[in-house]
Structure 1
């Protein structure tokens, strides 16, 4: 039970800081129907847990070993993230009801969520340092218990975040929602810009 609680608290610390995944879930909860926003949260959870598993078992070490892989992920990821942010800035919201929002297909949601989670090498490396370093302190038999706690934390965090935002989204009118979209879009573009800067920095070394 102790290892499970350690994994649970580590998982919350891993997911809680405001990042692309949280912004993605918040925006879906504000602009999509309850069913679609729930699906978005579920897809984010699946990719988030898969990344946590990969970090725990050492993908960060692989990225550090192969610099070309870092470069590819940085370049492609930064461009796609910037594109997503620009689309959010350009989106026009006249009504916050689900019927008034643009249709977001399951395929588009899956690909966008994949980019948000997996095309952020900084998150992969940070997650590897956080979870991978913790792995060293654990006995081998506790790995499944610990990583299960991390996975449960991801499920709880994103479902609760989605539920809270969905519950209170009716308090937002179209103007406020537009401002939120602009803020989220700007932050996402800044994330993408930071990734692109990291790409050029790594390329010049």
Structure 2
């Protein structure tokens, strides 16, 4: 279940892939650890009830959808506008604070991750006996750790195969996907607002 929660290509995966391609090995691993931390904390929150809170307060869901969609669109536009440099040079401009802030936004301000995680993990919570909660959520956390570390290692291993032109194409494709994803979230917000 943990792999099913993390494996679909989403913002967190794109964040880890981009870090593995553009940052030094040390920064890439640090970025992956930060993503894992926020991903696991979101999984815990989803499992133990953030979805129930959002269902109870429709206005909260609307706020999360609106703010999240605008942030996601903004991130996609920034990715489209970013200039690609030589991959081997690493990314010296990304500070630890900016990495933490971006990772937090990618995970916790992503309404689709909150909604999907709440539905997927919250649904499992209902079907499990309470005594198995710790084992289940620990398994989800371990799967998250393994998934993101393996993703980072594989992309880092083969990043020499990418030149600046290929990386620019990857950034453009990812940027467009992220903008479309944000647009879908914004459309969901408008649909809910109209109802």
TM over 0.5, shorter chain = yes
Match of 2:145 among 143, 155, 174: 155
State the distance in 1 between where 2:175 and 2:26 align.
23
- Give me the whole-angstrom Cα distance separating, in 2, the residues matched to 1:110 and 1:67: 29
Equivalent-residue separation in structure 2 for 1:203 and 1:41 (angstroms): 36
Question: 1:42 corresponds to which residue?
Answer: 33
Q: Which residue of 1 aligns with 2:51?
A: 60
1: distance between equivalents of 2:168 and 2:61?
35
List alignment gaps of at least 5 residues for structure 1. Answer: 1-9
- Runs of 4+ in structure 1 deviating by more than 4 angstroms, as ranges, are none
Residue correspondences, number: 195
Could you tell me which of 164, 167, 185 is aligned with 1:177? 167
Counterpart for residue 6 of structure 1: none
Written as runs of structure 1 = structure 2, the 5 A alignment for 1:123-162 is 123-162=113-152
C-alpha contact 1:120 1:195 (8 A) present in aligned 2: no
Within the alignment, does 1:108 sit opposite 2:98 as a pair? Answer: yes
CA deviation string 1:137-190 (max 9, x = no partner)? 222111111111110000000000001000100111111011011111111111
- Which of 6, 20, 29 is 1:29 aligned to? 20
Partners of 2:79 and 2:171 within 8 A in 1: yes
Unaligned 5+ residue runs, structure 2? Answer: none
Q: TM-score, normalised by structure 2?
A: 0.96
- In structure 2, the partner of 1:192 is 182
Q: 1:201, 1:102 → 2: CA distance?
A: 42
Distance of aligned partners of 1:102 and 1:91 in 2 relative to their CA distance in 1, 3 Å threshold: farther
1:26-72 C-alpha deviation (Å, 9 max, x unpaired): 01111111111111111111111011111111110110111111111
